[in-house]
Structure 1
Amino acid sequence: MSTLAGSNSQTRVVVRSAVSHQSDASLAVGELVAALGQEADLYAVFVAPGFDLAAVAAATRAAFGDRVIGCTSAGNIGANGYDLTGIGAIALTGGALSARTIALGPLDDPCAVVEENGAAIAELRAGIGDADGFAVLLTDGLRGNEDVLTASLMAALGDVPIIGASAGDDLTFRRTAVYYNGQFSENLATVTVVRTDAPFRLMRVQHHEATGTVLVATDVDPDRRIVRAINGRPAARAYAEAVGLPVGELTPTVFSRYPLLLNAGGTSWIRSIAEVEAHDFLRMFARVDVGDVLRLGRPQAMLEKLGACLEGVAAELGSIGGMLVFDCILRRLEFESEGLTGQVGALLAAHHATGFSSYGEQFNGMHMNQTLVAVAFA
């Protein structure tokens, strides 16, 4: 799925990217500055585990001022494909690009925080006017409420398309943080609305297809992302039967290979399983509501689907000059288990992708898992 925008073929956004593996925050940001300069219209910075976040934040603000967004990551994506360490960054310049960022938080009640910031969100929307633009949402990946936050934000922004991601911490699930105003903060999200005259395209790709196996969520705790019963039976037992395994053999590898798919708006959205809890409940990585009709998913043409989507975007734009990419950590784990990490990483690098491995993705008003979302520039 994609959205093409930007109609002036004479203007382009110049995209530059860089990575540093220096362990010292000041030296690392210094390398980014040397590669990217300090004159870009918008920077995005993604920090893999192992850094002093306060030091990274201070150096980042000193280098790039208030023209930077970012978050912690579960690994980065850049010129070398998947990169498990370091600080990755992307710089966007030209194409009459302008960007404004606001913070949303705390995130304990996403509906309320979006409503409280309604005036500021309306100003962001007004800044685009009748021109082309999009929004970038970066949010704490451990709050467990991105579903409500994304839907509320989409309602507030109206027709402005959204791509977004949940910050990560390399699967330790201890602390994820979003950069804003010179510091990395938990329980926070940022919304950046970007306006540009240059051609760009939003894209979303997944490689799981729905099978004919229907699993109806009949007892759930949606706010905690717990599915207690499927088809009127203990959820883990019903799922295990669907994949042909005993409950005791359900592992993260099984969950990543056979996620659940929800159909909405004429397309499917992945709802990944995190683990089996007590009483054979399933804890999910995305919200499931009572009565949701889910279908068992299965992988299909992992590399081919990504390649076809990227080639399609490149054909429409003429070529891809750079991409801001958010790619689910579960996808990388699945590629690792299939021995495809190098090939997928090389494919992303060949299309000038820069971004990070995330704990969930957002596209317009939906939160999902095991998906890649991106904005590509001509």
Structure 2
Amino acid sequence: MTVRLRPDGHSGGMDACVSPAPAGARESAERERQGFTDHPPETIRIAVSRAATPRAALDEIAAGLKGMRPSFVNLLIPDRLDPDGLQTALPLALPDTLVFGCSTAGQITPKGYENDALVAIAFDRRHFRVASALFSPLAPLSIADVVARTDKLLDQFGTTPGWKRLALIFADGLSKQEDVLVAALEAGLTDIPVFGGSAGDGMRFQRTRVLRNGELVSNAALLLLVETDLEFRGLGFDHFQPTDRRMVVTEAVAEERLVLELNGAPAAVEYARLVGVSVDALSPTIFAENPVLVRNGDLYHVRAIQQNHDGHGLTFLSAIDNGLLLTLGRGKEIIRTLESGLSIRDESGGEPDFILGFDCYLRKLEIERKELAGQASDVFRTHRVIGFNTYGEQHLGVHVNQTFVGVAFFRPDRRLPL
């Protein structure tokens, strides 16, 4: 793994890249147009475009970030934009800028839930530094290689006194490798918390991509090692509780996350029976509102179902194996749990400057079916959430589904000079 610094202080190289140390002043921006209910964040700048073509969209993004030299930019890409066109236009619109990101299954903008927005989050270099590594190909995955390369990245990314670290992971959401990847990263990063989301492809489930060094890549995962002088707190929550209806996986193809039998019966048939619908009625909405849970100690994690497989099997979005005990979940009031989960404060009672959010697409499906998207968007705006809808979430070493995972960053100490 190598690090090559360019004359402007940015870095290149395919194995690792490191952003410059915080320096310089941030110019003011027209932030009132961003849509948050009180005032825009102080430590990031957000640009959003709904233009029809990649070049026009990226030109709008560049205009929105004009005058700022960020540490790095996180680009969240809607499925409607042509990836080849985006890849071609990116270096023209944002030259000499570290840009990372992924394709999505929806976006959380300063207006709330959206489906077609290109979102750029520019992280202020006074408060953020970053190093990155790309794991490609992701499948087959070598745990030893992930740990070794993570160790090298840590060695190369010099620490800043008084600053803290966290890791963000953006993984191919169709790779079926996130469970093992996140566990390996947790081992390699030791005491550094890991948060993230699996890249999406709208509702098509055909191809997902991660973005690094101007290239959109499938069958890959992007690791961002982020250093910040801001206080931050991780959060993760869902809105389900276990019922008394249980299932045992009696036949599965673990590497494909495919369950063929539950309780000795065809998986789709048995699941439909327990839910109380016909097999023909199974749909993403049914799966979203009737998830299966796996118990881990006193906690239950969602193992979301992606789709019905040939009318008999069920394809899952997380690891599954023979003998696993599953419990059918029942939802609680989703808006109330969203409001409660996002109501986070720092030690002095201060609200976050912003929350970087990774929200499962199945949560959004349920919210939209219940005609609650407007209310959810109001909650996101109030709590200053920016992020995307995922095919899976990574939270403190575990790959989960149907969960909101986030990192709340708090405002800098106002006693320090700006």
Bigger drift between 199-208 and 28-37 goes to: 28-37
Shift of 1:128: 7.1
User: Given the alignment of the two structures, is residue 291 of structure 1 paired with residue 323 of structure 2, yes or no?
Assistant: yes
Contact 1:66 1:181 in 2 (8 A): no
Contact 1:43 1:64 in 2 (8 A): no
Shift of 1:240: 2.2
Contact 1:128 1:195 in 2 (8 A): no
Q: Structure 2 matches for 1:221-236, cutoff 5 A?
A: 221-236=253-268
Partner residue of 2:46?
Answer: 17
Contact 1:13 1:198 in 2 (8 A): no
Shift of 1:56: 2.3
Q: Structure 2 matches for 1:323-342, cutoff 5 A?
A: 323-342=355-374
Partner residue of 1:50?
Answer: 80
Contact 1:89 1:354 in 2 (8 A): no
- Report the TM-score, using the length of structure 2 for normalisation: 0.81
- After superposition, give the CA deviation of every residue in 1:299-321 in whole Å (9 maximum; x if it has no partner): 10100111011113478761121
CA distance in 2, matches of 1:194, 1:235: 42
CA distance in 2, matches of 1:266, 1:95: 41
CA distance in 2, matches of 1:375, 1:40: 19
Shift of 1:165: 1.1
Shift of 1:274: 2.1
> SS in structure 2 opposite 1:349?
helix
Bigger drift between 24-33 and 60-69 goes to: 60-69
More RCO (CA 8 Å, sep 6+): 1
Partner residue of 1:5?
Answer: none
CA distance in 2, matches of 1:23, 1:282: 36
Q: Structure 2 matches for 1:184-223, cutoff 5 A?
A: 184-223=216-255
Shift of 1:146: 1.6
User: Given the alignment of the two structures, is residue 35 of structure 1 paired with residue 64 of structure 2, yes or no?
Assistant: yes
Q: Structure 2 matches for 1:153-302, cutoff 5 A?
A: 153-278=185-310, 280-302=312-334
Contact 1:271 1:369 in 2 (8 A): yes
Contact 1:323 1:351 in 2 (8 A): yes
Shift of 1:369: 1.4
Provide closer, same or farther for how the CA distance between residues 115 and 276 of structure 1 changes in structure 2, counting only shifts above 3 A.
Answer: same
Amino acid of the structure 1 residue aligned with 2:229: D
CA distance in 1, matches of 2:351, 2:222: 30
CA distance in 2, matches of 1:316, 1:288: 42
User: Given the alignment of the two structures, is residue 121 of structure 1 paired with residue 150 of structure 2, yes or no?
Assistant: yes
Partner residue of 1:8?
Answer: none
Partner residue of 1:364?
Answer: 396
CA distance in 1, matches of 2:146, 2:275: 44
Provide closer, same or farther for how the CA distance between residues 50 and 123 of structure 1 changes in structure 2, counting only shifts above 3 A.
Answer: same
Contact 2:146 2:184 in 1 (8 A): no
Amino acid of the structure 1 residue aligned with 2:149: A
Which stretches in structure 2 are left out of the alignment for 5+ residues? 1-40, 411-418
Which stretches in structure 1 are left out of the alignment for 5+ residues? 1-11
**Total equivalences in the alignment:** 365
CA distance in 1, matches of 2:305, 2:314: 7
Shift of 1:233: 2.8
- After superposition, give the CA deviation of every residue in 1:253-298 in whole Å (9 maximum; x if it has no partner): 2211110011225422111112232472221121112222211011
Amino acid of the structure 1 residue aligned with 2:121: I
Amino acid of the structure 2 residue aligned with 1:122: D
Contact 1:13 1:97 in 2 (8 A): no
Amino acid of the structure 1 residue aligned with 2:392: G
Shift of 1:234: 2.5
CA distance in 1, matches of 2:348, 2:108: 23
> SS in structure 1 opposite 2:344?
helix
CA distance in 2, matches of 1:140, 1:60: 20
Larger radius of gyration: 2
CA distance in 1, matches of 2:348, 2:89: 38
Contact 2:49 2:61 in 1 (8 A): yes
Contact 2:344 2:352 in 1 (8 A): no
CA distance in 1, matches of 2:232, 2:387: 16
RMSD between superposed Cα atoms in Å: 2.2
Contact 2:199 2:391 in 1 (8 A): yes
Provide closer, same or farther for how the CA distance between residues 66 and 189 of structure 1 changes in structure 2, counting only shifts above 3 A.
Answer: farther
CA distance in 1, matches of 2:88, 2:311: 47
Provide closer, same or farther for how the CA distance between residues 376 and 281 of structure 1 changes in structure 2, counting only shifts above 3 A.
Answer: same
Partner residue of 2:24?
Answer: none
Partner residue of 1:85?
Answer: 116
- After superposition, give the CA deviation of every residue in 1:314-363 in whole Å (9 maximum; x if it has no partner): 78761121121111111111101101111101211222211111111111
CA distance in 2, matches of 1:251, 1:29: 35
Shift of 1:40: 1.3
- After superposition, give the CA deviation of every residue in 1:222-242 in whole Å (9 maximum; x if it has no partner): 111111222233322322222
More helix by share: 1
Provide closer, same or farther for how the CA distance between residues 14 and 265 of structure 1 changes in structure 2, counting only shifts above 3 A.
Answer: farther
Contact 1:203 1:373 in 2 (8 A): yes
Amino acid of the structure 2 residue aligned with 1:295: T
CA distance in 2, matches of 1:365, 1:13: 30
Once the two structures are aligned, what percentage of the paired residues are identical?
A: 33
Contact 1:53 1:184 in 2 (8 A): yes
Partner residue of 1:101?
Answer: 132
Provide closer, same or farther for how the CA distance between residues 334 and 221 of structure 1 changes in structure 2, counting only shifts above 3 A.
Answer: same
